[in-house]
């Protein structure tokens, strides 16, 4: 059966169900008495359609209308995909929200989007909603995935379980859901995804029905020999609030692959060994953790084992370097590679299920040395580039043509140009329709049909796109999270003894801060605590001052999402100044200058 690419997500989903109703599209873990860890439950596309139909019709019966907004706050799980497709199939608009978001951030998104329905995973997320409920005038219905979460609803009649909504929908004619799917248009907005801007205020990117399917169709042309229709198994763990995770979810309908939902990141490797994926989507941080874990195991071995692994790894790297240059390797290199696989590399490959062909990586830069490492053990990690506003991929490395440190070649039917200042600009059917309720921001981002990405880059002679810098100060962690540092830094201003608080963490797996303090206040603090010191720098190194700053950071972190939290900090003895080139004449911190000046201190926070 061929891949399916219609002009909307809704039509693609419907066609997938019609053509392969009995194919297993989803697998998720469920508990079973007497079985430790539960069992994997298979769900066919036909079964998924029925579940979506009943949920959609239940929502419609409770008042959900075309164009209404419905939010989802949950970790990645089968019910997320079910709720999302039920919303889209109701011709409503899906609003994904990260479960790590603070109650205030969640309230902002719900109010700004005027969501009338919100799906929450469990009691933890429900409590966030209930805390802000008096300030959420548009919200009418709260749906919980886990029925036991109803115990914290305090008798609120508007809090219902997924099963209760589904039972309501079973009383309706399923053909209504099918007609709703058929009525979808290519330019209908199916989702508004909120991304952080430079001010820290989220902006809602409006995504059209046609866009994700268009991206996936372009990818299919590049991977026509690598992705087998209805023959791939994926392990799914990316947040569906992340556009790459969303692309993967819709890809299930286009390619007919089987999507297996990891229980959580802690059980990811266990789940991989259970389902034996052939491919998956990830962010650099996932590979960083695996890379670190494997190297730690190697280092814990005997000197002989370390030497064998090192030799095997180099043999693998040499083999693939020769392949990339001449499409073949010498007989000697091939022999060494076969020996290397038998000695060590196959053991690493087996940790990823033993069937993995390749992985798509995006959301943040992927280190060249890690790319070469995984390629050597038999796993091609193909880095791509895209944004929420472009419905994920603009470019991606191809299976047979990989250039590490690049983000690959531009997808078919995507126009790209590099502006005079080096900014990457895109024109394509996949570009978003604008920011919801933000015409000024939309006009700034889309000029004469070209979307200005805010990223600086270039295209090399071979046609590979390279990202070299961020035009603005948004931090992209190695986990793919977009973070506005100004939002965090503004919270530090409420602590009068903090003079400057500059957040870093681009391409890193957590945030850190350079901190300068008000000398007068800290001196007074030292006296009040009876700290013994000979000079100011010694006072700054004291346990008491360190504890004072740490206390402030704890207070700051309590108002932030988990991924926005500052994990480590270093106190800089001298305050920043215009004279030293650290501040502009208007006393704004020159982030790049300061980061370069204190690079040694920053690097020490990640060692």
User: All domains of the chain, ordered by start, with CATH?
Assistant: 9-278 (3.40.50.12780), 285-354+356-470 (3.40.50.12780), 484-604 (3.30.300.30)
3-state secondary structure at position 213: helix
Note the pLDDT of residue 367: 77
Note the pLDDT of residue 197: 44
Distance (Å, rounded) from C-alpha 415 to C-alpha 428? 6
Report the DSSP beta bridge partners of residue 395.
Answer: 385, 410
Residue 102: closest CA among 202, 204, 199 = 202
Distance (Å, rounded) from C-alpha 570 to C-alpha 603? 11
- Spatial neighbors of 480 by CB under 8 A, at least 6 apart, are 242, 244, 283, 284, 285, 362, 363, 364
CB 477 within 8 A of CB 510: yes
User: How, if at all, do strands 511-517 and 566-571 pair?
Assistant: parallel
Distance (Å, rounded) from C-alpha 596 to C-alpha 48? 52
User: How, if at all, do strands 69-73 and 159-161 pair?
Assistant: unpaired
Buried b (16+ CB within 10 A) or exposed e, 103-142: bebbbbbbebbbbbbbbbbbbebbebbbebeeebeebebb
Report the DSSP beta bridge partners of residue 552.
Answer: none
Note the pLDDT of residue 89: 98
Low-confidence residues of the chain: pLDDT under 50: 197-199, 585-586
Distance (Å, rounded) from C-alpha 211 to C-alpha 9? 9
End-to-end CA distance of the chain: 51
Note the pLDDT of residue 199: 42
Distance (Å, rounded) from C-alpha 130 to C-alpha 136? 10
Tokens of 566: 């500052």
CB 236 within 8 A of CB 280: yes
User: How, if at all, do strands 93-97 and 117-120 pair?
Assistant: unpaired
Note the pLDDT of residue 606: 92
Residue 72: closest CA among 28, 25, 106, 105 = 106
Note the pLDDT of residue 496: 79
Distance (Å, rounded) from C-alpha 155 to C-alpha 457? 55
Residue 327: exposed, middle, or buried by beta-carbon count in 10 A (0-12, 13-18, 19+)?
exposed
Note the pLDDT of residue 1: 59
3-state secondary structure at position 343: helix
The 10s digit of each residue's pLDDT in 497-526 is 898 999 999 989 999 999 999 888 899 899
Integer CA distances (angstroms), 176 to 27, 45, 111, in order: 27, 18, 30
Distance (Å, rounded) from C-alpha 11 to C-alpha 180? 10
Distance (Å, rounded) from C-alpha 581 to C-alpha 592? 11
Note the pLDDT of residue 585: 47
Distance (Å, rounded) from C-alpha 374 to C-alpha 367? 11
Tokens of 286: 């996932």
Distance (Å, rounded) from C-alpha 402 to C-alpha 372? 10
CB 83 within 8 A of CB 59: no
The 10s digit of each residue's pLDDT in 136-147 is 999 999 999 999
Report the DSSP beta bridge partners of residue 202.
Answer: 196
Tokens of 500: 């400057």
Max CA-CA distance within the chain? 81
């Amino acid at each position: 059966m061929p891949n399916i690419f219609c002009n909307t997500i809704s039509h693609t989903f419907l066609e997938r169900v019609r053509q392969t109703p009995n194919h297993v599209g989803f697998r998720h873990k469920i508990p079973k008495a007497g079985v430790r860890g539960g069992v994997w439950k298979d769900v066919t596309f036909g079964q998924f359609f029925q579940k979506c139909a009943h949920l959609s019709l239940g929502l419609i019966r409770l008042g959900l209308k075309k164009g209404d907004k419905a939010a989802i706050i949950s970790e990645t799980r089968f019910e997320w995909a079910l709720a999302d497709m039920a919303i889209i199939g109701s011709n409503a608009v899906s609003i994904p929200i990260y479960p790590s978001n603070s109650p205030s951030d969640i309230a902002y998104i719900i109010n700004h989007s005027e969501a009338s329905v919100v799906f929450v995973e469990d009691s933890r997320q429900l409590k966030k909603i209930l805390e802000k409920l008096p300030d959420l005038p548009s919200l009418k219905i709260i749906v919980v995935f886990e029925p036991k979460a109803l115990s914290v609803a305090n008798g609120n009649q508007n809090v219902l379980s997924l099963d209760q909504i589904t039972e309501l929908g079973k009383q309706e004619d399923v053909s209504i859901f099918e007609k709703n799917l058929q009525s979808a248009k290519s330019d209908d907005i199916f989702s508004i995804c909120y991304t952080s801007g430079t001010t820290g205020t989220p902006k809602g990117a409006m995504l059209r029905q046609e866009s994700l399917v268009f991206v996936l169709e372009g990818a299919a042309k590049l991977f026509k020999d690598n992705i087998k229709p209805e023959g791939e198994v994926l392990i799914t763990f990316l947040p569906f609030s992340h556009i790459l995770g969303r692309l993967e979810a819709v890809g299930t309908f286009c390619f007919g692959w089987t999507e297996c939902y990891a229980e959580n990141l802690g059980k990811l490797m266990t789940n991989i060994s259970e389902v034996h994926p052939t491919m998956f989507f990830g962010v650099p941080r996932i590979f960083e953790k695996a890379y670190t874990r494997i190297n730690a195991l190697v280092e814990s071995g005997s000197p002989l084992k370390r030497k064998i692994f090192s030799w095997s790894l180099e043999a693998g790297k040499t083999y693939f370097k020769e392949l990339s240059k001449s499409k073949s390797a010498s007989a000697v290199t091939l022999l060494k590679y076969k020996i290397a696989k038998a000695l060590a590399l196959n053991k690493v490959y087996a940790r990823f299920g033993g069937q993995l062909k390749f992985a798509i990586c995006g959301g943040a830069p992927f280190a060249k040395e890690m790319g070469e490492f995984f390629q050597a053990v038999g796993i091609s990690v193909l880095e791509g580039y895209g944004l929420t506003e472009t419905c994920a991929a603009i470019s991606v490395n191809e299976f047979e043509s990989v250039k590490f440190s690049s983000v690959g070649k531009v997808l078919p039917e995507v126009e790209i140009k590099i502006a005079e200042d080096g900014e990457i600009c895109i024109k394509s059917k996949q570009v978003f329709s604008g920011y919801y309720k933000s015409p000024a921001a939309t006009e700034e981002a889309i000029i004469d049909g070209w979307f200005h990405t805010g990223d600086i880059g270039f295209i090399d002679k071979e046609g590979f796109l390279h990202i070299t810098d961020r035009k603005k100060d948004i931090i992209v962690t190695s986990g793919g999270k977009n973070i506005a540092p100004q939002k965090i830094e503004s919270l530090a201003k409420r602590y009068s003894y903090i003079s400057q608080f500059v957040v870093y963490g681009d391409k890193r797996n957590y945030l850190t801060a350079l901190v300068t303090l008000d000398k007068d206040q800290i001196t007074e603090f030292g006296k009040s605590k009876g700290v013994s010191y000979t000079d100011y720098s010694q006072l700054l190194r004291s346990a008491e001052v360190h504890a004072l700053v740490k206390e402030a950071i704890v207070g700051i972190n309590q108002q932030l999402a988990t991924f926005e939290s500052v994990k480590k900090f270093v106190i800089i003895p001298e305050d920043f100044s215009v004279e030293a080139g650290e501040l502009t004449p208007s006393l704004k911190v020159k982030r790049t200058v300061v980061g370069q000046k204190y690079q040694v201190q920053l690097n020490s926070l990640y060692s």
